[in-house]
Amino acid sequence: MSSSTPSPDASYARDLAQIDAANATGRIPVVFIHGLWLLPTSWERWAAVFEEAGFAPVLPGWPDDPESVAEAHAHPEVFAGKSVGQVADHFCDLIGRLDRTPVVIGHSFGGLITQITAGRGLSRASVAIDPAPFRGVLPLPLSALRAASAVLGNPANYHRAVPLTYEQFRYSFANAVSEEEARELYDTYAVPAPGEPLFQAAAANLNPWTEAAVDTTAAGRGPLLIISGEKDHTVPWAIANASYKKQVHNTHAVTEITEIPGRGHSLTIDHGWREVAETALAFVRRFADPTA
């Protein structure tokens, strides 16, 4: 590793510092988990909303996440070789270091990780936004296949870090915003991502031992809200609703789903992010009192 390459230890140290800061507040933590092609900084506006509501926000990265978009483009190799299981274990380790059981909110593959942590009994309430599919979720809409083709079209991408071109980002993330906003979102937020999780999700229903699996019936799962963007190409309603139909069989906790009209996969970062954040916050407040 060259001296200019980001240190994995630095990424983990940043995460631990956030855990310590959240513990010091005594408040209920809210852990935000980003998905592919984004960084933890994509949650900063959400963190401010939840902090104002009385929670202690924590924005950890995936293993080895760079600190900035510029750093990510300078060293794309740090994203390669991350599996769903590795990432899930990373977040479960961090959550286990919190003094209070947190709320967990995730987007896309972060939404899948959110459901995995919930299935392990680690969250008091969870919100999965346009969540990537897990084993047992069967629909494969054409738009989702097209969005995933940026990675799945080349088997060599399994072990690579894969960036999106603007055109690919426009289709998979920013199809429901203007051209001007799509360009701004791409320049502000888009970073390379590991290819392996997409291959794992694509093969989940063919692999009984897949890491892309969720314990949907766990007694300790806690309340779960799934949020779907009406115009999402990457995780269309058919996928989000199929996830809900698997989760709703949990007899121990509330399971709900809601659709945000007119929104694409960029719904957590685009001009309408606050509507989604307020939807998540309203659900969380029903089950987690920040004053308690």
| 141-175 pLDDT tens trace | 999 999 999 999 999 999 999 999 999 999 999 99
pLDDT of residue 1: 39
Residue 182 — pLDDT band, cuts 50, 70, 90?
Answer: very high
Distance CA(36)–CA(49), nearest Å, equals 23
pTM: 0.96
* Residue range 187-246, pLDDT digits in tens: 999 999 999 999 999 999 999 999 999 999 999 999 999 999 999 999 999 999 999 999
pLDDT of residue 3: 42
DSSP state of 234: S
Name the CATH code of domain 8-287 (choices 3.40.50.300, 3.30.70.20, 3.40.50.1820, 3.30.420.40).
3.40.50.1820
Residue 292 — pLDDT band, cuts 50, 70, 90?
Answer: confident
Distance CA(109)–CA(212), nearest Å, equals 10
pLDDT of residue 10: 87
Residue ranges covered by each domain of the chain? 8-287
Distance CA(215)–CA(247), nearest Å, equals 9
